[in-house]
């Protein structure tokens, strides 16, 4: 598939390398493509363009920007080239504030998640929450002695979730579909839980698994 990644941070770069390793064509979209020249030299199969270029390029889009600017970035992409496309939403609504005893602060409440806000503003996009509840170092081909970790996903569009489940399968995850967009109220805070051992004990190498 052609994957358009909106963002150029560590998540965008990690997932881009993963998509390329798994045989997909990938374009990163950023405000400053020139800044990515050193990365492009090391990842010659990737391409880089503006946010709008990446939105138009992808059959599937990945939203990998700071949570507070997620809506702005989608506006700058102009939603039209993304209409009808699955958009993998990796973002978390983290406030610009220090964690309290390791607990991140969010600018959303338990009654309204970031992905719901985005889905309301961009009703034609098929958002699927994924990759937000694990550190970037474990996003692609995670290896654990306890077996495959679980990626919790949600979104309103069954077809989009099926495509994302296929990608997660390729990337070495088992997928737990937690329902519609409102379930992001539960999945986004998993990042708070995931980060706690890191902030408290410098342990960043874990992932979640759902046991049945
Ligand atoms: N880091 C992780 O391990 C991890 C794990 C799970 C989920 N997440 C989530 O994934 C998302 C990406 O995380 P990240 O760590 O890769 O990067 P980040 O530092 O949260 O975000 C970097 C990206 O945000 C964009 N950005 C920042 N300020 C902007 C502004 N004012 N206007 C427009 N764009 C702006 C940048 O765009 P330009 O390219 O244009 O500069 C850059 O691509 C976040 O929502 C984060 O919470 C992160």
Q: Tell me the CB-side half-sphere exposure of residue 91, using CA atoms within 13 A.
A: 32
Q: What is the pLDDT of residue 77?
A: 87
pLDDT in tens, 11-27: 999 999 999 999 999 99
Q: What is the pLDDT of residue 78?
A: 76
Q: What is the pLDDT of residue 80?
A: 85
pTM: 0.98
Q: What is the pLDDT of residue 79?
A: 74
Q: Are 34 and 61 in contact (CB under 8 A)?
A: no
- Average pLDDT along the chain: 97
Residues with CB under 6 A from ligand 1: 7-12, 30-32, 64-67, 69, 72-73, 90-92, 94, 132, 135-136
Which residues are 89's β-sheet partners? 63, 129
CA distance 182 to 115: 8
For residue 11, the ligand 1 atom closest to its alpha carbon is: 16
pLDDT in tens, 54-93: 999 999 999 999 999 999 999 998 778 999 999 999 999 9
Which residues are 174's β-sheet partners? 150
- pLDDT band at 10, cuts 50/70/90? very high
Nearest Cα to Cα of residue 114 among 183, 165, 178: 183
For residue 51, the ligand 1 atom closest to its alpha carbon is: 40
Q: What is the pLDDT of residue 129?
A: 99
Q: Percentage of the chain surpassing pLDDT 70?
A: 100
Which residue shows structure tokens 């994302």? Answer: 164
pLDDT in tens, 137-148: 999 999 999 999
Which residues are 176's β-sheet partners? 152
């Amino acid at each position: 598939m052609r994957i358009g990644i909106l963002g150029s941070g560590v998540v965008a770069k990690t997932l881009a390398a993963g998509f390329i390793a798994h045989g997909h064509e990938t374009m990163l979209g950023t405000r400053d493509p020139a800044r990515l020249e050193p990365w492009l030299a090391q990842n010659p199969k990737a391409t880089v363009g503006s946010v709008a270029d990446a939105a138009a390029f992808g059959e599937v889009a990945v939203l990998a920007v700071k949570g507070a600017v997620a809506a702005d970035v989608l506006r700058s992409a102009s939603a039209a080239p993304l209409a009808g496309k699955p958009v993998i939403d990796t973002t978390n609504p983290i406030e610009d504030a220090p964690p309290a005893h390791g607990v991140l602060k969010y600018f959303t409440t338990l009654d309204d998640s970031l992905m719901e806000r985005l889905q309301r503003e961009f009703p034609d996009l098929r958002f699927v929450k994924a990759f937000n509840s694990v550190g970037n170092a474990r996003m692609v081909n995670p290896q654990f002695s306890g077996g495959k970790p679980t990626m919790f996903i949600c979104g309103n569009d069954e077809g989009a979730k099926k495509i994302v489940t296929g990608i997660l399968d390729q990337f070495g995850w088992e997928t737990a579909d937690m329902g519609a967009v409102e379930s992001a109220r539960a999945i986004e805070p998993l990042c708070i839980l995931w980060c706690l051992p890191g902030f408290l004990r410098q342990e960043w190498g874990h992932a979640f698994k759902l046991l049945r």
